[in-house]
Amino acid sequence: MNPYKKNDNCLQLAAKMTKNYFLHAYEWLRKMLLFLLMFLPLQLFAVEDFYHFDTPAQQERFAALTSQLRCLVCQNQNLSESNAPLAADLRQQVYQHMQRGQSDKQIVDYLVARYGDFILYRPPINAATLGLWLGPLIFLFLSVLYLLFYIRKKQ
Amino acid sequence: MNVLKQTRFILPLIIFILIFALLWRGLNLHPNQIPSPLIGKPAPTFSLPTLFDAKKVTTNKDFFGHVTLMNVWATWCVACAEEHHALVQLAQNKTVFFYGLNYKDDVTAAKKWLKQYGNPYRIVAVDQDGAAAIDWGVYGSPETFVLDKKGMIRYKHIGPIDTDSWEKNLKPLIEKLQHEPV
């Protein structure tokens, strides 16, 4: 629909054009914002508890610790990401142990004693996990062996 | 070289069978049932108020002298409602000491629940903030521990108890533990 009429005077035309311009600009902006919203990382909504730390280094330590510990309820999330009530409780435990001046190892050992190695995203090397740790190396070794064999045969 | 030519067809088959076996095993695993490192260890020490009398205190000493079924439950836990009827019925046999740990729950709601649906527990401890449950390695209720007469944790059952798990795992173990000396 054309909003402009033949008998519009100069002022009316200018007003209509401005209005039209803003309407278009608004519509464009709205679409653009909706489009940009798609790219907003969901991580922005990750859990934020407000723990007080004396130094930024401590805060980093807390972040590092909670990101290497598994949430046991939602097992593909770590403690720092998870919204599960248990994850909040365990974050609280980690914080309290830190405030008591315990080392990372002490805190991790405390949790492993209760929840087992499962709480660790990086499993320790032992008889049960040997295959997990050495598997890729063995696979690589066999592949290289096969490759060498294959090349020699071709020559 | 002749050997290589022959094995050429067998090798992919072997790899296929290996991967198949691995994945088949994976299908039957229960990664949500995390094995407890506490099995074979004494119950963690704690001191908690009891549900029906907040002034009365219950400790890990309450496990000594009898085989205990320690059940972690809450009124907000849907699966707990599922197993509750079975627990009430099993408690009637009095073969095992039923101990309840009320986990992060509303005390009034918990009392009401037990009055309404029956109380299988001889003692109910109140763990309001869930700190005691962390010492037990609890990550989701219901969870049930079987303790021997010395107060050692011998078994952990994750999820609701049903007739199947009771007959297969819990009952034989409890009977075995009954025969062990105090």
DSSP assignment string, A96-119: HHHHTT--HHHHHHHHHHHH-GGG
DSSP B30: -
Using an 8 Å CB-CB cutoff, list chain B residues near A75.
Answer: 31-32
Q: How far apart are CA B82 and CA B63, in angstroms?
A: 26
pLDDT the model gives residue B24: 93
Distance CA A18, CA A15 (A): 5
Q: CB under 8 Å to A150, separation ≥6 — which residues?
A: none
State residue B64's pLDDT score: 94
CA gap A85, A92 in Å, rounded: 11
**For testing the chain A interface, which of B134, B138, B153 should be mutated: the one with the most A CBs within 10 Å?**
B134
Q: Given this model, what pLDDT does residue A99 score?
A: 92
CATH, range B47-178? 3.40.30.10
Confidence at residue A20, expressed as pLDDT on a 0 to 100 scale: 87
Q: Could you say which of A93, A115, A117 has the minimum Cβ distance to residue B139?
A: A115
Instruction: Give the residue on B whose Cα is nearest the Cα of A71.
Output: B139
| Alpha-carbon Rg for chain A in angstroms | 30
- Name which of B4, B31, B140 is nearest A73 (Cβ-Cβ): B140
Quick one: pLDDT at residue A45?
A: 53
- pLDDT, position B95: 84
- Distance separating the N- and C-terminal Cα atoms of chain B: 69
Closest by CA position to B67, among listed B39, B95, B42 = B95
Distance CA B33, CA B52 (A): 32
Lowest average pLDDT, out of A36-45, A143-152, B110-119, goes to A36-45
**pLDDT given at position A1:** 57
- Cβ distance A115 to B35 less than 8 Å, yes or no, reads no
Task: With CA atoms as reference, report the closest residue to A64 among A108, A21, A32.
Answer: A108
Is 0.90 topped by the overall pTM? no
Measured between alpha carbons, how far is residue B55 from residues A22, B36, B71, B133 in Å?
A: 70, 32, 22, 20
Angle at alpha carbon of residue B9, lines to B5 and B14, rounded to 5°: 125
**Residue scoring higher pLDDT (B105 or A42):** B105
pLDDT tops 70 at residue A34: yes
- A153 interface with B at CB cutoff 8 Å: yes
Which chain A residues are Cβ-neighbours of B131 within 8 angstroms?
A: 89
Residue A43: pLDDT band with limits 50, 70, 90: low
> Binning pLDDT at 50, 70 and 90, where does residue A41 land?
low
What ipTM describes this predicted complex?
0.80
**A80 with A63: CB under 8 angstroms?**
yes
Residue A3 has pLDDT above 80, yes or no: no
Chain B residues within 8 A of A153 when measuring between CB atoms? 1, 4
Residue of A nearest to B131 (CA): A89
Please give the DSSP secondary-structure letter assigned to residue B34. Answer: P
The answer to whether B40 faces chain A, any CB pair under 8 Å, is no
What value does the mean pLDDT take over residues A22-48? Answer: 78
Chain B residues touching A86 at Cβ < 8 A: 130, 139-140
Strands (DSSP E) found in chain B = 47-49, 57-59, 68-73, 97-103, 123-127, 143-147, 153-158
Strands B153-158 and B143-147: antiparallel
Residue pair B159/B79 in contact by the 8 Å Cβ criterion = yes
Q: Is B104 close to A72, i.e. CB distance below 8 A?
A: no
What whole-number distance in Å separates Cα of residue B168 and Cα of residue B47? 33
Model pLDDT, residue B30: 84
Q: Which one has a higher pLDDT value, A114 or B181?
A: A114
Pair of tokens at residue B77: 């836990």
Look at residue B3 in the predicted model and tell me its pLDDT. 66
Cα distance between residue B60 and residue B62, in whole Å: 5
User: Which segments in chain B show pLDDT lower than 70?
Assistant: 1-4
